[in-house]
Structure 1
Amino acid sequence: MSAQANAETANHHGPGTGTLEHVCVVHALKPDRGIGVTAIDKRAVPGPVKVGKIGLYADVQADRVHHGGFDQAVYAYSEAEAQRWALELVREIPAGYFGENLRVSSRATTDAIVGERWRIGRDVVVEVTLPRTPCSTFARHVREDDWVARFTERGDVGCYLRVVRVGKIRAGDSIEVVSRPAHGVSVRDVFTGPTPGQAQAMLDEQAATGVPLPEKILAKLRQLGFAE
């Protein structure tokens, strides 16, 4: 049995489940002096929403280089992380306010393992790929001083997802981890900078399974001198 198959068998029930609390799509494009327009203003929507390979139907990726494409098709943020910000900022952080497509509970996003796969509802399967990197557009949207630095320091950045199997999702769907790589490197680890041991573990698993790491992670490993 392959390492990936072992992980799927071992983790089918092991890592626990979560709940999709809200599904969010763009409410309106906002003018932004940095990039022209931004699709960061997302709001929760009722009913089933189709999920395709490049994201949710009725959603928009205004900047597919930095916030879109297959490896960043969907952005998830946890309710617990949002509530920590709500307490600090002394205001509500409604679903979609951070530009997320999925607001989830009882499911780690920043501490999810890179490459782990979630089944959402009956049909949709997504794969954890990358951390969110805060930018000046995000700061202007939130309207907080030094937001990029504060968000970076906290490190609760959420995770991007690649769509493995398309289908429909809706608020209230269960989220089940159906596979998890053995390397154990989290989205938070990638965001803060992996150790040499973590970098090597990811590269070793890539070589063993033939499943490529997201190109942005490989570029970061090359930048840090861990990969050619």
Structure 2
Amino acid sequence: MATRDAGTVEAVNVGEPREVQAGDHTVWTAIWKHPVDGRVALRGVNLDGDDQADRTVHGGPDKAVYAYDAADTAWWEAELGRSLGPGAFGENLTVAGVPVSEAVIGERWAVGSTLLEVAQPRLPCFKLGLRMGDPRFLKRFAQAARPGAYLRVVREGDIGAGDAVQVLSRPPHGVTSALVSRAILGEPELLDAAAAAPELPGELRAWMLERAMGRGR
């Protein structure tokens, strides 16, 4: 397969679940990620040293690795007026040179010795608001249409900062992570178009198609 685009891993970020104060109670979350040095093994559905607090909504085969574009982080830094740095959005891979939110669902990336496939956008939950110190941030994140992308593992291996990110293939349907995010989070008229990507997780795609049909009645 010929390389379409190439970028670079700026940081590999991992984190274990921890207790965080949320109002008058505590919650478990692993959204706080930190960069690590050296090669990091990717086995099953996690990088070494990484985990999820609630696997009913996070992690699993279709959310094994979360990638975010360093350019989008820089955009948010300008919007928020403060430094964020790698891992600020709970991403495992902070990448440069590949517009992650515009990645096509089903496109495949060679990163280090791994092979990854774009599966779906990140749909924000209240824990992103905790991470940013502002519960209203969820609405801002949705409106910005800069969701990054979750990737599934096609081939296990290891990844390190400085590795190339090579886009090896891209499905012709053209449905991007950002388009799916927009369809689900605020523009339901896009659901039909967004559901045209057969590589979306089955349950998510079925929900999108059902909701789109309901709009047409």
TM-score, L = length of structure 2: 0.88
Distance across 1 between alignment mates of 2:44 and 2:68: 19
User: Is 1:45 matched with 2:41?
Assistant: no
Among 88, 104, 121, which residue is 2:95 paired with? 104
Match of 1:115 in 2: 106
2:172 paired residue among 182, 195, 198: 182
**What is the RMSD computed on CA atoms of the aligned residues?**
1.9
Q: Does 1:82 align with 2:86?
A: no
Q: Which structure 2 residues correspond to residues 57-206 of structure 1 after superposition, within 5 A?
A: 57-121=48-112, 123-144=113-134, 146-193=136-183, 194=190, 196-199=192-195, 201-202=196-197, 206=198
Contact 1:53 1:162 (C-alpha < 8 Å) held by counterparts = no
Partner of 1:218: 206
Aligned partners of 1:78 and 1:103 also within 8 Å: yes
Q: Does 1:23 align with 2:12?
A: yes
Flag structure 1 segments of 5+ consecutive residues without an equivalent: 1-8, 207-211
Instruction: Could you tell me which runs of 5 or more consecutive residues in structure 2 were left unpaired when the two chains were aligned.
Output: 184-189
Local SS of the residue matching 1:224? helix
Counterpart-to-counterpart distance in 1, 2:59 and 2:127: 15
Give percent identity, aligned residues only: 38
The DSSP-based 3-state class of the residue aligned with 1:225 is: helix
Deviation string 1:84-134 (CA, Å, 9 cap, x unpaired) is 00011111111111100000000011110000000002x200000111111
Residue by residue over 1:136-175, the C-alpha shift from the partner in whole angstroms, topping out at 9 and shown as x without a partner, is 1110221125111111111111100001100011000001
Report the Cα distance in structure 2 between the residues aligned to 1:222 and 1:195, rounded to whole angstroms: 9
Aligned residue type for 1:36: V
Asked if structure 2 preserves the Cα contact closer than 8 Å seen for 1:18 and 1:174, the reply is yes
TM-score (norm 1): 0.84
Amino acid at match of 1:170: G
Aligned length: 205
Conservation of the 8 A alpha-carbon contact between 2:31 and 2:128: yes
Contact 1:25–1:42 (8 Å) recurs in 2: yes
